[in-house]
Amino acid sequence: MVWMSQVYIKYLYIRKEYNINCRTIEHTTCGFLHNLAFIRNIKLERGIEMNVTKYGAEDLLDLSKVKLVDVIDIEFLQKFQDDFAVGLGLASVTVDLDGKPVTNPSRYTKFCMDFTHSTEIGDKRCAESHRKGGEEAARTGKPYIYECHAGLIDFAVPIMLEGRQIGTILGGQILSHTPELDKYDRIAKEIGVNSQEYIGAVKDVKTLEMERIEAAANVLWTVANNITRAWYDQHKLGGIAKILNENITQMSATTEQMAASANEVNENQIKLNKEIQNVSTLTGKINDVIDFIKEIADETRLLGLNAAIEAAKAGEAGLGFGVVAQEIRKLSSDSKQTVNKIKEFTQEIKNSVAHTVKMGDSTTTATQQQAAAIEEVSASLQDIAGLSDTLENLASK
Which one is predicted more confidently, 36 or 320? 320
Residue 106 scores a pLDDT above 90: yes
- The DSSP H or E segment spanning 169 is strand 164-174
Overall residue count recorded for the chain in this entry: 397
Given a cut of 60, is residue 23 above it in pLDDT?
Answer: no
Q: Range with the lowest mean pLDDT among 26-30, 153-157, 193-197, 258-262?
A: 26-30
Q: What is the C-alpha to C-alpha distance for residues 165 and 302, in angstroms, rounded to an integer? A: 111
Concatenate the DSSP letters of all residues of 188-226 into one string: HHHHTS-HHHHHHHHHTS-B--HHHHHHHHHHHHHHHHH
Per-residue pLDDT, averaged over 271-297, amounts to: 70
Residue 317's pLDDT is: 56
Q: Spell out the domain ranges in the chain.
A: 2-208, 245-396
- Grade residue 27 by pLDDT with cuts at 50, 70 and 90: very low
Q: Is the pLDDT of residue 236 over 70?
A: yes
Average of per-residue pLDDT across 100-108:
91
Q: Phi/psi of residue 21, each to 5°?
A: -110, 135
Distances (CA, A) of 116 to 11, 125, 154, 198: 17, 9, 14, 8
Residue 236 or residue 121, greater confidence: 121
pLDDT(21) > 50: no
At residue 320, the pLDDT reads 59
Q: How far is CA 24 from the centre of its chain?
A: 42
Residue 26 binned pLDDT confidence (cut-offs 50, 70, 90): very low
Instruction: Count Cα atoms within 13 angstroms, Cβ side, for 160.
Output: 15
Sorting pLDDT into bands at 50, 70 and 90, what band is 338? Answer: confident
- As a three-state string, the secondary structure of 314-360 is HHHHHHHHHHHHHHHHHHHHHHHHHHHHHHHHHHHHHHHHHHHHHHH
More confident call, 316 vs 75: 75
Residue 350: Cβ within 10 Å count: 16
Strand 164-174 to 153-161 pairing:
antiparallel
Compare 292 and 94 and report the one with higher pLDDT.
94
Average pLDDT over residues 82-103: 89
CATH class name, domain 245-396: mainly alpha
Residue with more model confidence, 353 or 208: 208
Q: Is the Cα dihedral 244, 247, 249, 254 positive or negative?
A: negative
Q: What is the mean pLDDT of the chain?
A: 73
| DSSP letter (8 states) at residue 61 | T
Is the pLDDT at 7 greater than 50? The verdict is no
pLDDT band at 200 (very low <50, low <70, confident <90, very high): very high
State the pLDDT at residue 24.
31
Region 15-34: mean pLDDT is 35
Question: Sign of the CA dihedral 288, 290, 295, 299?
Answer: positive
In this prediction, residues 264-291 reach a mean pLDDT of 71
| CA gap 299, 293 in Å, rounded | 10
More confident residue, 296 or 320: 296
Q: Which of 217-226, 253-262, 365-374 has the highest mean pLDDT?
A: 217-226
Residue 168: which of 159, 180, 181 has the closest Cα? 159
Q: What pLDDT is attached to residue 116?
A: 92
pLDDT of residue 319: 55
With 60 as the cut, is the pLDDT of residue 57 above it?
A: no
Quote the CA–CA distance of 28 and 376 in Å, as a whole number.
Answer: 63
Res 210: pLDDT: 93
Q: Which residue has the higher pLDDT, 250 or 158?
A: 158
Res. 47 pLDDT band, cuts 50 70 90: very low
CA dihedral 147, 133, 77, 29 (to 10 degrees): 80
Catalogue the long-range contacts made by 93-96 (C-beta closer than 8 Å, 24 or more residues apart). 93/29, 93/32, 93/35, 93/169, 93/170, 93/171, 94/68, 94/159, 94/167, 94/168, 94/169, 94/170, 95/32, 95/36, 95/167, 95/168, 95/170, 96/67, 96/68, 96/69, 96/166, 96/167
Query: Is the pLDDT reported for residue 170 higher than 60?
Result: yes
Q: For residue 121, what pLDDT is reported?
A: 94
Q: 2-208 architecture in CATH?
A: 2-Layer Sandwich (3.30)
Banded model confidence at residue 18, pLDDT cuts 50, 70, 90:
very low
Whether 126 shows a pLDDT value over 80: the answer reads: yes
Q: Please indicate whether residue 154 or residue 46 has the higher confidence score (pLDDT).
A: 154
Q: Of 319 and 201, which is predicted with more confidence?
A: 201
Helices (H), the chain: 2-18, 30-33, 57-60, 68-71, 74-88, 110, 120-140, 181-191, 195-203, 210-314, 319-396
Helix (H, G, I), strand (E, B) or coil at 184: helix
pLDDT of residue 35: 35
Over residues 215-235, the mean pLDDT reads: 88
Which pLDDT does position 376 carry in this prediction?
72
Question: Order of strands, edge to edge, in the sheet holding 91-96?
Answer: 91-96, 164-174, 153-161, 144-147
Within this chain, domains 2-208 and 245-396 share the same CATH topology: no
